[in-house]
Structure 1
Amino acid sequence: MTDTILDVRGLSVDIATAGGVLHAVRDISLKVERGKTLCVVGESGCGKSMTSLAIMDLLPKGARRSAAALSFAGEDLSRAPGKRFNALRGNRMAMIFQEPMTALNPAYTIGDQLAEPYRLHRGASAAQARDRAVYLLDKVGIASPAERLGQYPHQLSGGLRQRVMIAMALMCEPELLIADEPTTALDVTIQAQILRLLADLQKEFGVAIMLITHDLGVVARIADRVAVMYAGQVVEEGPAAALFSDPRHPYTRGLLDCIPVPGRTARGGRLGAIPGVVPSLVGEVHGCSFRDRCPHARPVCAEDPPAREVDGHRWRCILEKAA
């Protein structure tokens, strides 16, 4: 059995707009290994969530996906029909959406929403689904789980709703879990609990996790590998330790410089910042998208940057190493 559960190559997502075609995701390649965590990081609007929706075949109307390969557990899904994705989603591959209050249906109880995928994919009885739901709610740290089954989403706090989303995603013991900013809008204490929970569940169930975030602090705590996205592209990808200690792309270096470092950042001192704004991805896009914000930009950056790799650490830049 291969160690790679998800292998994405040449994935692009285009969206028709009044001003032209928006190239939301541009020719990205990613791999997620069984039992490991890949963190996809980047600022808002860089294409992180659109990438996850493309992988799950949940793109909004009007968005068009293309890929050289979209392989899940050795099966190429790049041209698979919707019925095949319906059989996989919520079963062998699952997703934790960014905002649980809108992802959970306010008209149905927690118990009904937890039981539905288990009964649909596993042919379980109502009693079996209920027992599984109680087990997982307890596993994700929700007190009195049996009583929670009769409650509605609005009766739970944000942290509890997020835990319910995690339990729902685990109902059918998926091989791949995609978590789209699961700690957004939660206070730091609950964030830490959710991250610890994901790590514990990964150890117990061996699930592969693709975690989407813009928080490098989260990345440092949980990632095995990191993919840095900018303007719809993966500009750097590699082992988490190597990326933090030896970033190769100027954008990654800029992100890391924005983080205060205990003992090095002076109290009251100015943090790093990346000047400028993200370029428009509507219409033709050429060259390095970061060149207008990069302190190392040269005329050659108007052409597509070379792809470089050292010991599994890959980046797109004319530089061999970020200054």
Structure 2
Amino acid sequence: MSAAEAPLVLDVQGLHVDIRTAAGVVHPVRDVSLQVRRGETLCVVGESGCGKSMTSLALMGLLPRAATRRARTMDFLGEDLGRADAKRMNALRGDRIAMVFQEPMTALNPAYTIGEQLTEHYRHHRDASPAQARERAVELLEKVGIASAGERLRQYPHQLSGGLRQRVMIAMALMCGPELLIADEPSTALDVTIQAQILRLLADLQKELGIAMVLITHDLGVVARIADRVAVMYAGQVVEEGTAAEIFARPQHPYTRGLLACIPVPGRTEPGSRLGSIPGVVPSLAGELRGCTFRERCPQATAACTQAIALRDAGAGRRWRCILETEAVPA
């Protein structure tokens, strides 16, 4: 079965997140639509402040208290997450839906051993005995490449390196055999060698277990290595979506092209040459936002960009949010 024929695991349409502050309402996620199928890796990419992590927290039901979410559809294998109450979300989190959080150096609780943190939710969701949970924890630690797994269970997070802590986080997310894994920048704060190991591990586990994965990152090198499909986010919106091959070979949105221009291309980028850059910063997401939010940074912006910009649908999941005609956008 091809990826396009695999059943949908997650179907999100029209997701909004609003946060009330003393200065007004902030809109970090605006009309986001995403789909991911079984065995598929969807990469959500964009610079800091574009709403990637807030989208993942909205899917997990872990938003701050001041935040609210709403969506036309939040379907997870036939279940409406938007209507699930706190008790139901607690039953889903860590069991059928799991998340690898940012910053492995701080994501684990320093007051508990690795074993205690790995086995707690497994015993809760599976009603397992301590011995069964420990056996499962050892199995998962070995699967993620940690030697002497039984001894590691007695250690505390401060006794492990950053790379080992991230492997523990991945093992923890996989303890109950989830059908959807959300990984929020899992290689952040790790050195380049360890980053490559973690990404290869995630890709291998995803293929072996056949789970759907949403990988959040700002690193296009990561996207090129692991993604099946890509959603590019800017200022809380998805501005372009397509297969990884389409995004890299023929980007349609000026923001996507700007991101790609910022990375060196082996064999094409001259050593010591100047890389591309995108001037300016992501706009404030407070208050009402009109038109294309990228227009202040876009070299091709026109007066028409101040109007509402709808997603243009080319079929087969290929979409972008720009008024430029396809022929006018360079490959």
TM-score under structure 1 normalisation? 0.98
Q: Which of residues 243, 248, 253 in structure 2 aligns to 1:249?
A: 253
Q: Which of residues 168, 181, 191 in structure 2 aligns to 1:164?
A: 168
What is the alpha-carbon distance in structure 2 between the residues aligned to residue 217 and residue 147 of structure 1? 35
Structure 1 counterpart SS, 2:82: coil
1:243-300 CA distances to partner (integer Å, 9 max, x unpaired)?
A: 1000010000000011111222122111111111211111110000001111110101
What is the alpha-carbon distance in structure 1 between the residues aligned to residue 143 and residue 325 of structure 2? 46
The equivalent residue for 2:292 is: 288
Matched, 1:320 2:325: yes
Q: Which of residues 261, 265, 270 in structure 2 aligns to 1:261?
A: 265
Following superposition, the deviation at residue 305 of structure 1 comes to 1.2
Q: Which amino acid aligns with 2:318?
A: H
Matched, 1:82 2:86: yes
What is the alpha-carbon distance in structure 2 between the residues aligned to residue 191 and residue 296 of structure 1? 36
More divergent stretch after superposition (198-207 vs 238-247)? 198-207
RMSD: 1.1
Following superposition, the deviation at residue 306 of structure 1 comes to 2.8
What is the alpha-carbon distance in structure 1 between the residues aligned to residue 99 and residue 266 of structure 2? 35
Structure 2 counterpart SS, 1:113: helix
The equivalent residue for 1:23 is: 27
What is the alpha-carbon distance in structure 1 between the residues aligned to residue 196 and residue 300 of structure 2? 37
Following superposition, the deviation at residue 102 of structure 1 comes to 2.1
Structure 2 alignment gaps of length 5 or more: none
Contact 2:239 2:311 in 1 (8 A): no
Equivalence map 1:146-185=2 (5 Å): 146-185=150-189
Structure 2 counterpart SS, 1:272: coil
Q: Which of residues 205, 215, 240 in structure 1 aligns to 2:219?
A: 215
Q: Which of residues 111, 117, 122 in structure 1 aligns to 2:115?
A: 111
What is the alpha-carbon distance in structure 2 between the residues aligned to residue 284 and residue 195 of structure 1? 38
TM-score under structure 2 normalisation? 0.96
Q: Which amino acid aligns with 2:59?
A: I
The equivalent residue for 1:131 is: 135
Equivalence map 1:18-97=2 (5 Å): 18-97=22-101
Structure 2 counterpart SS, 1:138: helix
Q: Which amino acid aligns with 2:169?
A: M
Following superposition, the deviation at residue 2 of structure 1 comes to 6.6
What is the alpha-carbon distance in structure 1 between the residues aligned to residue 106 and residue 77 of structure 2? 30
1:129-183 CA distances to partner (integer Å, 9 max, x unpaired)?
A: 0000001100100010000000000110000000000000000000000000000
What is the alpha-carbon distance in structure 2 between the residues aligned to residue 9 and residue 78 of structure 1? 11
What is the alpha-carbon distance in structure 1 between the residues aligned to residue 212 and residue 146 of structure 2? 23
Contact 1:47 1:232 in 2 (8 A): yes
What is the alpha-carbon distance in structure 1 between the residues aligned to residue 207 and residue 81 of structure 2? 27
